[in-house]
Amino acid sequence: MYIAQAFKIKHNWWRYLVGLFIVFIGWQTIGVVPLMVVAFFEAGDLQTFLKASTDSFMSLGINSNLFLVLIIFSFAMGLAGIWFSNRFLHEQKFSKLTTSRAKVDWSRIWFSFFLVIIINAILFAISYVTEPEIYQLNFKLVPFILLLLIALFLLPLQTSFEEYLFRGYLMQGIGVIVKNKWVPLLITSVIFGLLHGLNPEVEKLGYIIMVYYIGTGFLLGIMTLMDEGMELALGFHAANNILAAVLVTTSWSALQTDAIFIDTSEPTAGLTVIVPMLIQYPIFLLILAKKYKWSGWKDKLFGKVQPENIVIEDNQ
C-alpha cells in the first residue's frame, strides 16, 4: 500500500525531521533569493525594500509574470529539497513517493487534470452567464501568452511541491511512525490549510475561508489514500491552479496575473466555501470512485499501517 511501502526504506523519525529542514532551506531560504534581489532593485533603496513584505512586492512594480516565475522558483527549490531528502536520507525512488503502482500512472494524472478543467469551466460559464457584470475583460495577447506558458510548464512545479510535501513525504512519514492512516490524513490536511492561511484571501474573506483550504487538503488526502497513489491529487492541484492563474484574477487574491478576466465583485466567503465543499468535491470523488472502482473506504482511510510481509532495510 502507498503508506506501508515506506517501511521498505530508511524511515526513522529523525530522517523525516532532517528532511523537512532541508526542504525548508530550499523553499524559504535558497528559493527566495532571486525574488529578494529583484525586489531590492525595484525598490531602489533599502528602506523601501524593508518596508515591503513578500505579499506586497508586486506593489514595487515587478512585472506580474516575472513575479509569478520568481514565486514558482522558491517552490521548485522546495521540490528539489524533497527529492534530495527522499533519495539520500531515505534511499527511496521518487516514483515510490508518488505511487504504490509499479510506475507512475500518467493516465490518472491527465484524467484528474481534465476533469477539474471541465467542471471548473462549466461553473465559470454559469457564473459568467448569470452575472456578466462582475467580470471585466483583461485579455492582452503578449502578456497572456507568456502567462499561459508559465502556467502550463512552470506552475505545476508549485502544485507538485505541495502535493509531494503533504500527500507524499508527510503522509508516508507520519503514517509509518503512528502506524495508521487517519492521523496522517488529519495532520497533513490541517497543516495544508493553515499554511494557506497566510494568503491575503484570509484577510479579505475572513477565517471562514480556512474551511475551504482544509477541506481541499482532506479531498486531496482522501484521493491519495483511496487510490494508493498521488497521481489524481497531482492532476487536480495542477489543473486548479493553472485555471485560477489564466482564467480569472482579482485585486485581492494571492495569485494576481494577466488573466483573461478580472472579477470585480465584492468578495464573500459564502459560495467560495459552500460550492466546493457540498457540491463540487463530492461529485469529483464520486466520479473517481466509480471510474477506479474504489472499495474498502473504512480500511483505506482509517485502517492500520502494518509492515507485515515487507522487508525492512533499516530500522535503526
Query: 132 CB contacts (<8 Å, ≥6 apart)?
Result: none
Q: Which residue has the cell 502506524?
A: 179
Question: Within a domain: residue 310?
Answer: no
CA trace torsion 254, 210, 114, 4 (10° rounding): 120
Structure confidence at residue 316 as a pLDDT band (50, 70, 90): very low
pLDDT digits (tens, 9 = 90+) for 86-102: 999 999 999 999 999 99
In terms of Cα–Cα distance, which of 2, 165, 150, 175 is closest to 75? Answer: 165
The domain total for the chain is: 1
Q: Decide: helix, strand or coil at residue 126.
A: helix
In terms of Cα–Cα distance, which of 267, 136, 145 is closest to 199? Answer: 267
Q: Decide: helix, strand or coil at residue 137.
A: strand
Kindly tell me if the per-residue pLDDT of 313 is higher than 50.
no
What is the predicted pLDDT for the residue at 108?
Answer: 98
Question: Within a domain: residue 312?
Answer: no
Structure confidence at residue 25 as a pLDDT band (50, 70, 90): very high
Q: How many residues does the chain have?
A: 316
Kindly tell me if the per-residue pLDDT of 143 is higher than 60.
yes
Identify whether the C-beta of residue 183 lies closer than 8 Å to the C-beta of residue 173: no
Question: Within a domain: residue 285?
Answer: yes
**What type of residue sits at position 284?**
F
Question: Within a domain: residue 237?
Answer: yes
Kindly tell me if the per-residue pLDDT of 109 is higher than 50.
yes
Question: Within a domain: residue 311?
Answer: no
Q: Decide: helix, strand or coil at residue 211.
A: helix
Question: Within a domain: residue 36?
Answer: yes
Among 12-26, 114-128, 246-260, the range scoring the smallest mean pLDDT is 246-260
Residue 260 lies in domain? 4-302
Compute the distance between CA of residue 125 and CA of residue 119 in angstroms, rounded to an integer. 10
Question: Within a domain: residue 308?
Answer: no
The predicted model scores a pTM of 0.94
What is the predicted pLDDT for the residue at 54?
Answer: 60
**What type of residue sits at position 204?**
K
pLDDT digits (tens, 9 = 90+) for 281-306: 999 999 999 999 999 999 999 999 98
Question: Within a domain: residue 218?
Answer: yes
